[in-house]
Amino acid sequence: MKKSTDSARIYERELRLLEKIKEIENHKSLSKEKLLKEYIELGNEYDKLLRQTIKITRIGDANLRKLMRSWKLEQEKLHLEQIVKERTKGNRKKKSTIGEPDGPVERKIRKTERALRE
C-alpha cells in the first residue's frame, strides 16, 4: 500500500497492522499457536485504538461545547450591541441609562465580553 498521503502518515501504525493481517490471510498454513498469538496481538492493538478513539471523541466533544458557548455569547453580544445602537440612535436628545458607563445594557455587554475572553 502506498503511504504518501497525510492520512497514511498519521495512521502508519494501523496501516502496517493491516498489511500484517493481509499477510496472515494469504499464508494459509499457519499453526494454531501462531494464529492464536497473532489474534491476541490484534486484540491488543484494537484495545489501544478503541481507547484512543474514546479519548479523541471526549476532546472533540469538549471543544465543540466551548465553541458553541463562544458562538452563543458572540450572538448575544451582537444582539445587545444592536439594541444599544437602536436605543441611542432614537434617544440622543433624551437622557437615559443607555450609553452611560453603568447602564444595564452596558453592564451586560461588558459581562459578555469578559466571558468571550475566557
Q: What is the pLDDT of residues 6-64, one digit of tens each?
A: 777 888 888 888 898 888 888 878 888 988 998 999 999 999 999 999 999 999 999 99
CB 17 within 8 A of CB 45: yes
Cα 81 from chain centroid (whole Å): 29
The structural domain count of the chain equals 1
Residue 97 within any structural domain of the chain:
yes
Note whether residue 22 is domain-resident: yes
Cα distance between residue 116 and residue 23, in whole Å: 54
Whether 112 contacts 76, CB under 8 Å: yes
Residue 1 counted as domain residue: no
CB 89 within 8 A of CB 96: no
Q: What are the helix and strand counts (H, E) for the chain?
A: 4, 0
**CB atoms closer than 10 angstroms to residue 83:** 14
The reply to whether 58 falls in a domain is yes
Q: Does 2 map to a domain?
A: no
- Supply the range of the domain harboring residue 66: 10-117
Short-list 42, 2, 51, CA closest to 20: 42
Other Cβ atoms less than 10 A from the Cβ of 116: the count is 13
Closest to 83 measured CA to CA, from 114, 48, 108, 51: 108
Q: What is the pLDDT of residues 57-105, one digit of tens each?
A: 999 999 999 999 999 999 999 999 998 888 887 666 555 455 556 677 7
Is residue 19 within 8 A of residue 1, CB to CB? The reply is yes
